Amino acid sequence: MPPAPEFPPIDFPTLGFLVIDWIEAHCVIPDGFTKGEPFILSGWQAWNILNHYRVRPGAVGIRNNELASAFFYRRSQTVRPQKTGKGPFTSAVTCAEAVGPVLLDGWAEEGDYYACRDNGCPCGFVYFYEPGEPVGTPWPTPLIQITATSEEQTANVYAALKPMIDNGPLSEIIPKTGEEFIRLPNDGRIDTVTSNARSRLGARVTFVPQDETGLWTPSSGMVKVAETQRRGLAGMGGRAWETTNAWDPSEASVAQRTYEGGMEDIFIDFPQAPVGLSFRNKAERRRILRAVYSGSPWVNLDDIEGEAAELLKVDPQQAERFFGNRLVYAQGTWLPEGRWEETKDADRVVRDGEFICLGFDGSENNDWSAIRAETADGHVFTPTYAGGRPAIWDPRLHPGGHIDRGEVAAAVDEIFSRYNVGRFYCDPQDWRSEIGEWALKYGDKVVLEWPTNQISRMFAALSRFEVDLASGRVTHDDDKTAEIHVANARKKAQTAQRYTLIKPADHQKIDVAMSSVLAHEATQDALATGWGKAKSRRVLVLS
Ligand SMILES: [Zn+2]
């Protein structure tokens, strides 16, 4: 029996059918007009459970000490839009993991059944297995940590969980649902934790619902939390389940890491509409919503449309993530989506001796330092030195976390000797004395300080770079660091009309983007003085 027509048929062994029936017999709707009625799983919810509890063929289960390893997937990730019922779903799975049959205990023979009365529950529930179906059994001592970025968020999940237990048959076996935690039979418990609960995070957990992992960023401390919990789970044979909205791809969240990791033993449920559909276009938006809200029959698409249209006005990127279930960079992203990719020219080879201009954004010990170059015909690239090393320096890779200034100076010297450098713009922050030396060596009309913290000047340079990218007058190489730094860069309004670039978080660097803009500015200014044209031709003849 497939969960709904839009989902593929189930052609693998799974404990999911038992778990679904168990949930529907034990969990009740936590709120709303139908509060207290049986919680019936929708299409996507059933589909997720059938996959999470998919059993590995040949697994034996608890009698062979196979807990997590009895299952096909080590953990699951569910990425669904707002209002698809992720919260109540997580609560229902938590109930099953607390006192329901979620571990494998062999395979059924003719006439085998699961009966609540054999497991301390007086509700009368009986499930008759098909011969050859996996057999389920509860955890002896379940320890569950509902985990989120904030106490407010864990309280949200907990608020759905408590009435789901208190107002239905589960109240017979779980009589104590406290305000802080839930005590389970057999010394088990359900806790809620955030990154503040350091001492408890490494606990011997058997199930961890990880809520909104799209917000679990390195700076929030939640990447460490996820890693600690995974170690705890691995020790116990437990499993985790991430649920989240689509995330902002510049944030390196836990959700993003899971998704991009490409592990085949993680179940990922992330329905997406065809990429060609525009979320800004009302008719196409409707098609996107129809696609990503499939399997959630209670959702009224007119209501969703109303909320999406409202949010679109203030934060279009968030609207597209929350309701369109798409990975979209946050508001204020520097370049329009796809622009950097469109303007890439990976085949362009820059030969020694070509006419180039340079831009340098340096730092001492926190941000990166980078030299970018641009040819007279508008190709931005990372010059190399010392036999092919890119002129980009990450201070974390240097002893003591400090940039090796000698290395930067050596790179500058090599680049000047290999190319015909017309102009070199340098942000003076932390590097004023070196810039002075370069000006003495290569000419003070060539090497110039260019302070990136001067707002009107910086804004003009950014605008010029953006316009020239959009018109195709500038292309660039395939430098991955440049790509990341460009994606990280955010606009920050400085006045009503002017903005500069900032990093969204301290670990998200933008220095290679800044040095690219400086290289372009140097090139444009040099070209305006007549540099490059005649001389370029001569070089072409010579080569
Ligand atoms: Zn029961």
Ligand 1 centroid – CA 209 distance (Å): 22
Ligand 1 centroid – CA 62 distance (Å): 21
* Cα–Cα dist 203/187, whole Å: 14
Residue 171 makes CB contacts below 8 A (sequence gap 6+) with 165
Ligand 1 centroid – CA 23 distance (Å): 9
Ligand 1 centroid – CA 184 distance (Å): 14
* Cα–Cα dist 363/508, whole Å: 14
* Cα–Cα dist 26/88, whole Å: 13
* Cα–Cα dist 383/403, whole Å: 18
Pair of tokens at residue 452: 């990136």
Ligand 1 centroid – CA 128 distance (Å): 14
Ligand 1 centroid – CA 166 distance (Å): 14
Query: Model's pTM, two decimal places?
Result: 0.66
Ligand 1 centroid – CA 26 distance (Å): 6
* Cα–Cα dist 10/18, whole Å: 14
Ligand 1 centroid – CA 97 distance (Å): 13
Q: What angle do CA 334, 213, 4 make, to 5 degrees?
A: 110
8 A C-beta contact, residue 345 and residue 379: yes
Q: Is 68 helix (H, G, I), strand (E, B) or coil?
A: helix
Ligand 1 centroid – CA 125 distance (Å): 5
* Cα–Cα dist 531/357, whole Å: 10
Residue type, 107: W
Ligand 1 centroid – CA 123 distance (Å): 4
Backbone φ and ψ for 468, nearest 5 degrees, come out as -70, -30
Predicted local confidence at residue 495, as pLDDT: 63
Ligand 1 centroid – CA 30 distance (Å): 18
Ligand 1 centroid – CA 357 distance (Å): 74
Ligand 1 centroid – CA 295 distance (Å): 27
* DSSP H or E segment with residue 356: strand 355-361
Ligand 1 centroid – CA 275 distance (Å): 45
- Give me the sheet containing 266-269, strands edge to edge: 181-183, 189-193, 143-147, 207-211, 239-244, 75-79, 266-269
Ligand 1 centroid – CA 406 distance (Å): 72
Ligand 1 centroid – CA 140 distance (Å): 16
8 A C-beta contact, residue 512 and residue 372: yes
* DSSP H or E segment with residue 430: none
Pair of tokens at residue 179: 């305000």
Predicted local confidence at residue 1, as pLDDT: 53
Pair of tokens at residue 18: 């038992």
Ligand 1 centroid – CA 327 distance (Å): 41
Task: With CA atoms as reference, report the closest residue to 107 among 51, 155, 60, 165.
Answer: 60
Predicted local confidence at residue 398, as pLDDT: 81
Residue type, 114: Y
Ligand 1 centroid – CA 122 distance (Å): 6
Predicted local confidence at residue 494, as pLDDT: 67
Ligand 1 centroid – CA 49 distance (Å): 19
Pair of tokens at residue 470: 């959009």
Ligand 1 centroid – CA 182 distance (Å): 18
Predicted local confidence at residue 541, as pLDDT: 42
Predicted local confidence at residue 539, as pLDDT: 44
Ligand 1 centroid – CA 27 distance (Å): 10
Pairing assessment for the beta strands 181-183 and 355-361 based on DSSP bridges: unpaired
* DSSP H or E segment with residue 22: helix 16-26
Predicted local confidence at residue 312, as pLDDT: 87
Ligand 1 centroid – CA 108 distance (Å): 20
Q: What is the pLDDT along the chain (543 residues), one digit of tens a residue?
A: 556 777 888 999 999 999 999 999 999 999 989 999 999 999 999 999 999 999 999 999 999 999 999 999 999 999 999 999 999 999 999 999 999 999 999 999 999 999 999 999 999 999 999 999 999 999 999 999 999 998 888 988 898 999 999 999 999 999 888 888 999 988 999 999 998 877 777 688 999 999 999 999 888 899 999 999 999 999 999 999 999 999 987 778 999 999 988 889 999 999 999 878 889 899 999 999 999 998 888 899 999 999 999 988 877 888 999 999 998 866 578 998 889 999 999 999 999 999 999 999 998 878 999 999 999 999 999 999 999 999 999 988 887 888 899 999 999 999 999 999 999 999 999 999 999 999 999 999 999 999 999 988 999 999 999 999 999 999 999 999 999 999 999 887 666 567 789 887 778 899 999 999 999 999 999 999 998 765 444 444 443
Ligand 1 centroid – CA 172 distance (Å): 9
CB atoms within 10 A of CB 511: 27
DSSP for 108-148, written as a single string: --TT-EEEGGGGT-TT--EEEPPTTPEEEE--SS-EEEEE-
Ligand 1 centroid – CA 170 distance (Å): 7
Pair of tokens at residue 427: 């942000």
Predicted local confidence at residue 330, as pLDDT: 66
Ligand 1 centroid – CA 13 distance (Å): 23
Q: What are the helix (H) ranges across 419-529?
A: 432-442, 455-470, 480-488, 511-528
Ligand 1 centroid – CA 63 distance (Å): 23
Dihedral (CA of 329, 332, 336, 341) sign:
negative
Ligand 1 centroid – CA 333 distance (Å): 51
Please name the residue that has the structure tokens 């059938």. Answer: 50
Backbone φ and ψ for 339, nearest 5 degrees, come out as -60, -45
